[in-house]
Structures are given as C-alpha cells and as structure tokens.
Amino acid sequence: MDEASGRDPSGFASRPAEVSSPGRDISCPCCGRALTVEQIASLKAQLAAEPALRNDLPVGMMFVDPHCHMIARTTDDYTAMAAAGVVAVVEPAFWLGQARTNIGSYVDYLSHIIGFERYRAGQFGIRHYCTVGLNSKEANNEALAEAVMDILPSFAGKEGVVAIGEIGYDDQTALEDKYLRAQIELAKDLDLPIMIHTPHRDKKRGTTRTMDVLIEHKFDPTRCVIDHNNEETVREVLDRGFWAAFSIYPGAKMGNVRMTEIARQYGPERIIVDSACDWGVSDSMALPKTARLMIERGIPLEVIRKVTYENALAVYGLNGEMKAADWLEPVAIDQRTLYSGNSVLRGGQTPRITEPGRASPSLEIA
Amino acid sequence: MAWFEGKRAELIGDFAPRVLTAAFGPVPRRMGKADLSLEPADLAAAETARPGWRAGGLTVDQAARIVLLLDAANAAGSFTERLKSLAATADVGELIAIYKGLPLYPEPATLVPLATEGLRTAMRGVFEAVAHQNPFAAEHFPQSAWNHMVLKALFIDSVLYPIVGLDQRWNEELAKILVDYAHERWAAHRPVASELWRGVGRFADAAAVADLVRVLTDGDEREQKAAALALSESRRPEAAVALGRRRDLADAVAAGDMTWSDVRG
C-alpha cells in the first residue's frame, strides 16, 4: 500500500479490509458506539478471510492479444474479451487441427480470416488483424506448399494484414526449412514483419536454428517476433535482438505464474504476452487474467501495459495497418461497415474478467 | 495521388492481372478512407453520366478502387471473369468497393450472379453495397432475387428506403412474403419494421388489410403512420372504412403532408 496516496500500487481503490486504521474511532453501524480495538481486529480478520475481488482491472486498461485463432472461438469469447478490455487481436494463419488437402481450402481460409472473421470481431467492438503464411506442418505437403507460395503475395497486401506468419519449424524437416526461407525472403520483398512459431518438440534447438536462418537471410530482428517462448529460450531470443512472445496456454507452452516471474526477471522490453487461444483447451481470457495476477504479485502497471498492449502494438504496427486510433477513434466508414465498438464508452468502464458464456444467470433466451 | 495516377497509367498502358491485384489492396493505406466530398454539381454530373447512380455514399478508397477497375475494363479478356476472380480473394473493404461500382461496369447482365452472391454475405456492409444507393438490383435482378434482397434487408435490421427503385418493383409475391414475415415476428414477440408495410398496401388481400387495421389501432406512432399510408394505397373498401376512422392520418396522407419518408428506419 502506497501510504501517501492511500492507494495500493496496483492502482485500485483501497479494498474494504484496508480502510480502517487502528487508533481512529470507528462507530458501530448498529448502535453508533465506538468499536473497541478487539472488535476492529475481529472485523478486519473476517474481511481478510473474504475472497478478494479478483475479476476487476484498472479502469481504462486495454489489451492487444497478438495471437488468437478466433475462427475456432465462439461469440461468448468475443463478448468476454471485450468486457475484459481486449481491444484488438492478431489472428495468425496456421493449420486447422488437421491438414488441408488442396489450395482451394487454403484460399478460403485466408479469405475467411481477412474477411468474415475481421467483420465478426468488429461486431463485438474488437479490432481484428491477421498474419498470412504457410505453416510448418503443411509445408511438408510440397504440392500444396508451392500453390500457397503462389497466392500469398495477393493476400499479403490486404487490409489488416500485419505480418507474414506464423511460420517456422515443426519437425524441422527439409521442406519446412525450404518454405521458412522462402517466406523470410517474401517478407523482405513485401516489407512485412514476421511472426515465428517455434516448435513444440526439440524447442530449444529449433528456436536457435530458426534465429540462425533469419540472421543468415539478414532479416532485421527488430521486425520479428519469436513466439511460444519459455524459460529456456527467452535469454537467447532477447540477446539476439528479437521480440520474445509467450503464449499463456494451459498445460502447455507457458503458465501465467511463470510468466509473472519472467516479467519480473527480464523486465518489459521486447516481451509480449499472448493467449494463442485456438481449438484446443486454451483460454481467451489469458491476457486479462495474467495482468490481474501480475498486479497482485506486485509487477508495476507500466510493465504490464508494455507486455500486454504496447509491445504487440509496436511490432505488429510496423507496416501501418494496426494503430491505436483504430479502436480509440475509428474512422466513420469503419464504424458504419466493420466495427461496432464504442471505445469512448468502454474507456470509462471497469474491465472485468468473466468466463466466456457463464456470465448470464438467466434461463430465458429471447 | 501520384501513386494512384501511376497505377492507373500502368493499368491503361499494359494490363496485367497482377498489377490490378497489387494496386487494389493497398488503396486505403495510400489514399485513406474519408467520405468522398462531392458538391451538388458533382452529384448532378454523376446522375447525367449514369442515371440512377448515387455517388454520394462513396468513400475515397471505394471511388479509387472503382476507377482502377474501370481502367482495367478496356483490357482484353472478360471483365466479369476478372471481377469474379478479384472478388474471390477480396477483403471486406474490397468487396464493398466492387459492389458499389456495379452500375458502372460493362456487360452488366453477366454480373448478376456475382451481384446476387453479394446478397448471400453475412457481412452487413457488403450486403448494403449491393442493396442500397445502387440502381443495379432494380435494373437487372430477376424478381426472386429482388424479393429476397428486400426481405433480407428487413431480416438483418437494415433499412429499405435507400433501395433504388423500391416503389417500381413491389409485387404481389413480395407482399405475401412480407406479411408472412410480419406474422413470424409477432409470434416471436419481436418488433416489426414500419417500412415493411410499404410493400403491402397496394397488394393487400382481406387478411392483409386486417393486419394493417390492427397496426393502425395498436401500433406506435410511426407504425400507425405506416399503416395509414399502406391502407391509402389499397383499393379495398374495408381499407377506406378503417382509414375513415383516423381522419387525422387520412387527411395528412391525402394532403401529401405525410409520405413513406416519414416512417424510415
């Protein structure tokens, strides 16, 4: 608790348990008589035993979740994300949980994430951006991969496309290597940043190898995010000048207690938190929950703001497609056709963490 | 503007599909998305150049994209096929521009399937690019497509009044569809848009007149106005009788003091 301001460092107003201070007269709400020191101590003990409010965030707090596969999520996710302060998401092109068999379904997928998903997000007041690319799993189907490489340039210039990604290694095969290199060159040609997917298996060596290839191709590390980091990879990624992203994904990539300690140890520079929420057991509330946990564990608000908002905006805003004005002061045509959010209204509201779809107590559906 | 003129010169000079694709995407980033500011003289010139064309609702990027498409229209090969292939990979803004340009393209009859595909969208802005301020639908859609466009506008809580040619293309089939839709909404305890009745009055059978009388009696102020207007367009005697009980509204309609533009939205 910051004694001078009467507020705790998290920026919250003091909680009830912290209001009374010993030595000041406090009257009983029933009879008006001054409470004894013992009675005050007993009340404080009772209040402290109450579960703390864990669902509110500081007024006006905003999040950019730079890794969400929203096509796999429901409207409940969008509703909960908007209520929790998520103003923008980046949807990286990836595989769909199973392999596509032809280029037509890849074209339709990319059209979907630049088109309908962007529109759908807008209906919930969330701005949607995406990356386009050939993922490492499907790079192993050479016929498909060649066809995807042919169509990528025509998608890379669309509105809302902020990077080439997510690309990288899965099993670190020769074909994966070939198309990783080809897409690094494509990103250079098109002047786009890159989002790297690091492999789940053989992660440490796979991550090092990916960065070696990027450097070999003279790709500027300040324009490249290495995603799905952990404690074993973060040091090298930061030392080599790349952005280091962490996916708060239950049971896998990174947990948010561990994330809090990484933020404490490495500070906020070039660190990015994302949810990577997709069709698996994952959490679209990962950013607000992590921010809340970080506040409770004493990470300063400006650090949290950097790792959950500013850094993602900085790197994925490099090509000019994503900017804070998109949600803070959207242009009229977007308001009419694409984006139904009212950020002015939202700015004065308290972001609140809810579980998607579990907010309504009513059985009635009108 | 230099970028834009450069791309135009490329397209007019030596057309290649990839030049159009590459120029089409970045237009908003290069030129912005402000509303196109047009003077009354500009709008009049647009009306002269293409009767029924409503240029007033365009933004800068939409207008620029339509100009690029028209620049490419003189190149060899089918314009319609080129437009279809562009639409197949278009983002939301590109689709809206493509559809807003419909009244200006060559070979309009061959564009009908692409245009009706635009009605099947789940994106409201794309649907309205076809349905609103656009004479293409009234000029080229067969009745079934026209009727479903009008119904879908109501279904997605859009509005009817910006549909060009609305009063010229009402038909008995559409009136039946609209009355059925009103009943469906009433059964679900949902509001019925007042504009719906605009298509009902002149084709109303006895049951539809009874519906209109119900709206005239029980509706809110705007609904009552709509019912009065619709009843005034019916030749059935019971319509005149019902209207006779609301002299205030009947007189306003007769005097031209109240029109369908008073029940918009």
Residues of B in contact with A128 (CB under 8 A): none
B18: nearest CA partner in chain A: A154
CB contacts < 8 A, A to B, total: 64
- Closest-CA distance of chain A to residue B49, Å: 26
A118: nearest CA partner in chain B: B92
pLDDT of residue B226: 97
A296 pLDDT band (50/70/90 cuts)?
very high
pLDDT of residue A48: 67
* Model confidence pTM above 0.95: no
CB-based contact A316:A129 (threshold 8 Å) = yes
pLDDT of residue A3: 40
- Mean pLDDT value of segment A37-59: 74
pLDDT at B258 over 50: yes
List of residues 6+ apart from B204 with CB closer than 8 A: B175, B211, B212, B230, B234, B236, B239
Q: Of A27-31, A36-40, B35-39, B112-116, where does mean pLDDT reach its minimum?
A: A27-31
- From residue B227, alpha-carbon distances to A187, B192, B200, B255 in Å are 60, 12, 10, 16
A30 pLDDT band (50/70/90 cuts)?
low
- Mean pLDDT value of segment A192-204: 95
A352 pLDDT band (50/70/90 cuts)?
confident
Q: With an 8 Å Cβ cutoff, is A159 touching chain B?
A: yes
B121: nearest CA partner in chain A: A116
Residues of B in contact with A157 (CB under 8 A): 22, 25-26
pLDDT at A31 over 90: no
Place of tokens 């493509």: B98
Check B92 against A336: CB less than 8 A apart: no
A321: nearest CA partner in chain B: B29
Q: Residue A266 has which token pair?
A: 């490495």
pLDDT of residue A333: 79
Q: Residue B117 has which token pair?
A: 């595909």
pLDDT at A7 over 60: no
The string of DSSP codes covering A165-227 is EEEE-SS--HHHHHHHHHHHHHHHHHT--EEEEPPSSSHHHHHHHHHHHHHHTT--GGGEEEE
CB-based contact A88:A127 (threshold 8 Å) = yes
List of residues 6+ apart from A122 with CB closer than 8 A: A128, A334, A338, A339, A340, A341
pLDDT of residue A266: 96
CB-based contact A16:A29 (threshold 8 Å) = no
- Dump pLDDT digits (tens) for A324-341: 999 998 887 787 787 776
pLDDT at B17 over 90: no
Q: With an 8 Å Cβ cutoff, is A157 touching chain B?
A: yes
pLDDT at A1 over 50: no
Instruction: List all residues of chain B from 203 to 262 with a beta carbon under 8 Å from chain A.
Output: none
CB-based contact B262:B225 (threshold 8 Å) = yes
* Rounded distance between C-alpha atoms, residue A230 and residue A18, angstroms: 37
Q: With an 8 Å Cβ cutoff, is A258 touching chain B?
A: no
CB-based contact B56:B43 (threshold 8 Å) = yes
Q: With an 8 Å Cβ cutoff, is A112 touching chain B?
A: no
- Dump pLDDT digits (tens) for B167-222: 999 999 999 999 999 999 999 999 999 999 999 999 999 999 999 999 999 999 99
pLDDT of residue A26: 67
A13 pLDDT band (50/70/90 cuts)?
very low
pLDDT at A6 over 80: no
- Dump pLDDT digits (tens) for A126-182: 999 999 999 999 999 999 999 999 999 989 999 999 999 999 999 999 999 999 999
Place of tokens 């119904």: B151
